[in-house]
Amino acid sequence: MTVNVNNLFWKVYNSKYKINLINLLKKFRLNIKIILQKINNNEKDENIYNYIIKNNNFNKAYGSISTNRGYKRAKDIVNILQSIDKNKKIDKLLDIGCNIGEITLEIKKLLNLNTDNAICIDVESFAGKKIVPLKGIKYYTYDGVNIPFKDNFFNLSTILQVLHHVEQLDLFLNNFSKVMKLNSIVILREHDCLNDEFSNLIDIEHMIWAAIENTSYNIFVKNSYSNYFSKDRLIKIMENIGFENCKIDNYYSKNSGPTNYYYCAFKKIK
């Protein structure tokens, strides 16, 4: 569904997830005092969003977001993969929803893949801005549903913070399953969404990311789509298309951060 940006900050602040919201603001190095004042004054989400655009130092505090996040996520992926099967040889990687490909590039380096075997796909634009991929990876655009490769092509896929943005999830997953080889591994990262109130909190995180990227409020609203689900539901969804849930270290599988990030991994068994 399209993101409902109708007093989300006020709703979450006045829910049982108030502390999560405050921790989310801390994560992005935002001025908590001023934003809470705006919430208490019942200012519109658009006003708070525009304040964040003009008054954030997240990029300055963290340096290059792409470089830092790319390496960390890639290390997570490789560690999870090795915990499942340390001897598994990866022939071809498919990173879905890669944005500019910073994570794909780092996985390629860690797994010693050549460029032709480090493949990533995404839609043409993100938050209203055209994606310009990094060099050193094989990047393709797609329509968000139809995966442009032959059947039984990949033996590793990563889908990180992507599934909740897919509008035609059943069709997408059916197409995804076709391009994956038998015994291939897919590693996902998602939010464990508990209820509608918690989905509002996750929407706020997406709003903050868009504001940091200097995306206008109207463009964010126009281009945003989200359909969150719980960890248990995701496991059932993947099992229904022929993937078996793999046991991974609790460090990766446990919920973390204000919006319940977690990893899970699956093996294609049919």
pLDDT tens-digit series, residues 216-255: 999 999 888 899 999 999 999 999 999 999 999 999 999 9
Q: What's the rounded Cα separation, in Å, for the pair 70 and 81? A: 16
- Of all residues in the chain, the percent with pLDDT exceeding 70 is 94
Residue ranges of the chain assigned to CATH 3.40.50.150: 65-192+228-268
Intra-chain end-to-end CA distance of the chain, in Å: 31
Residue 23 has pLDDT above 80, yes or no: yes
Please give the pLDDT value at position 64: 47
Q: What is the pLDDT of residues 39-78, one digit of tens each?
A: 999 999 999 999 999 998 776 555 544 457 789 999 999 9
- Cβ atoms 247, 267 nearer than 8 A: no
Task: Tell me the pLDDT band of 80, cut-offs 50, 70 and 90.
Answer: very high
Distance, CA of 268 to CA of 239 (rounded, Å) = 9
Report the share of the chain in percent with pLDDT over 90.
Answer: 85
- Domain 65-192+228-268 part of CATH 3.40.50.1450: no
Rounded to two decimals, the pTM is: 0.92
